[in-house]
Amino acid sequence: MSETNSLFMMLGNSVDSSVADAIAKLVSQGSDRELCRVNALAFACRNGLDEERTIAGFLHAASLGMFDISWNVLCPGCGGVLDSNATLKTVVKEEYVCALCAEEYTATLDELVEVTFTVSPRVRRIAAHTPDDLPLLEYLRQLYWGSGVELPEDDYAEVVESMVVEDVEVPAGEKIVLSLQLPAEFIIVFEVVTHAVQFIDVKGEPTKERQSLSLVYDREHVHSQTLELRPGPVRISIENRTEGRVLPAVLIAGDALHGLLAKRRPFLTANRLLSNQTFRDLYRTDTVSVDQRLKITSLTFLFTDLRGSTELYERVGDLTAFDMVRGHFQVLQEIVASEAGAVVKTIGDAVMATFPTPDRAVAAALRMREAMQALNEKSGREDFLLKIGVHEGPCIAVMMNDRQDYFGQTVNIASRVQGLATAQSIFVTSSVMDHANSASILESRSLKPVSQDRNLRGIEREMRIYAIP
């Protein structure tokens, strides 16, 4: 049996069979382009698969060495990959600049960092494994634009060529001269390898006199001031001072370019992956480094606490109570994972979990309460009285005690909200209730939350808290 077939069998033993089959088909029959920076969410949609099971499938495949994970810092404007990393630990800059958009961005994990999967060369060699051999159009499609840009399948080449006035490959250390006619358009000379940009505003009366422009690529200068030239002939001298080839292209920044970049699709964010139970189980140490402080604009925290656990230990004894509490943890973790969340840690008899969106946390909280009620009915006693608090907001991802954790006021508030809860109650904040899908979940169950303004310890302002009956 070949090594690849053996890996397929191991994958099939670890993940959903339909996901494993789809991944095996992709590896064996997919085009080179389809195996480069796979968007797990788009793959799930295209194959009619569950998103969470698909993400788990690619994570297991990566852990087996079938795929390489890439953490790509994106430009929200053009969707380009500003920086590509084999691990989140190397996403160290506080600000990233997109020369093409002439903008600076903070790399927030839930908006600007995508996670993609590229087939490993040990499983199958694809063109992207040797990027210096890719022509411009494929370099743009496979390596520059992120997986959230929905590029056309059938007429991609025609669309890109319609906005390219001229392009050229310049080997390392060489000079090339381009002679071309400038149209009366806003022009961008974009070099995709170094991300260097020269803007040219072509306007005024056409001229027959040859105009000149000199461009030097050296990895240090990525953006120059906008130049004004007139429509007509231009001579562009290009010098490559880098150690590899460069691919400068003269582009028309018009409707074709804007239309190409306008269509977007969901992608797997770093934030969502950090809140994925499978990822936390498989990659406990490969998250953030001790000195990193990565910003997240929105994450939902759920805290639980088991009321009366001290009395439970007193009544049934340490061993029996320990087994019962451990069983309750297992139930909660399964519910969290099934709602796209992850258990960050347990603290005594309490759980701290994260979810990508508030509605997932609300759904999990309701299921947790129902599960504890079922356990109580089975035993004939109220051994499991679960207090639950939920809050959403910004935070920072950190590494503490050799574990990926979260820090910030949002975490503190979520913990305080849980502290307000009484037995079997679910308390949530306004930011959770204001999420449209959260309200829909409660309406579907005919649950009407009761609001109250409460003071939380350590929080100066009063907060509106909702009790879900």
pLDDT confidence of 389, banded at 50, 70, 90?
Answer: very high
Decide if pLDDT at 281 tops 80: yes
Summarised one tens digit per residue, pLDDT across range 213-229 is 999 999 777 677 899 99
Q: Residue range 289-307: average pLDDT?
A: 86
pLDDT at 285: 63
The whole-number pLDDT of residue 1 equals 47
**Tens digit of pLDDT for each residue in 321-344?**
677 778 888 999 999 999 999 999
Spell out the domain ranges in the chain: 3-145, 160-262, 288-468
Q: List C-alpha distances in Å: 452 to 168, 353, 410.
A: 66, 24, 19
Q: What is the pLDDT of residue 313?
A: 67
What is the pTM (predicted TM-score) of this model? 0.89
Q: How confident is the model at residue 27 (pLDDT cuts 50, 70, 90)?
A: very high
Between 36 and 375, name the one with better pLDDT: 36
β-strand partners of 405: 398
Is a pLDDT exceeding 80 seen at residue 162? yes
pLDDT of res. 381 = 76
| 161 or 311, greater pLDDT | 161
- Across the range 193-218, mean pLDDT stands at 95
More confident position, 424 or 301: 301
Contacts of 241 (CB under 8 A, 6+ apart): 173, 216, 217, 218
pLDDT given at position 348? 82
The pLDDT value recorded for residue 40 is 98
Residue 252 has pLDDT above 70, yes or no: yes
Instruction: Give percent of the chain above pLDDT 90.
Output: 74
pLDDT(421) > 90: no
pLDDT given at position 16: 95
Average pLDDT over residues 281-302: 82
pLDDT at 393 exceeding the cut of 60: yes
At 417 the pLDDT is 94
pLDDT score at 424: 73
For domain 288-468, give the fold.
Alpha-Beta Plaits (3.30.70)
User: Which pLDDT value is given to residue 67?
Assistant: 97
Q: What is the mean pLDDT of residues 81-93?
A: 89
Per-residue pLDDT at 276 exceeds 70: yes
Of the candidate ranges 94-98, 234-238, 246-250, the one whose mean pLDDT is the lowest = 94-98
Digit-coded pLDDT (tens) for 106-130: 888 888 999 999 999 999 999 999 9
Strands 463-468 and 450-454: antiparallel
Mean of pLDDT over the chain: 91
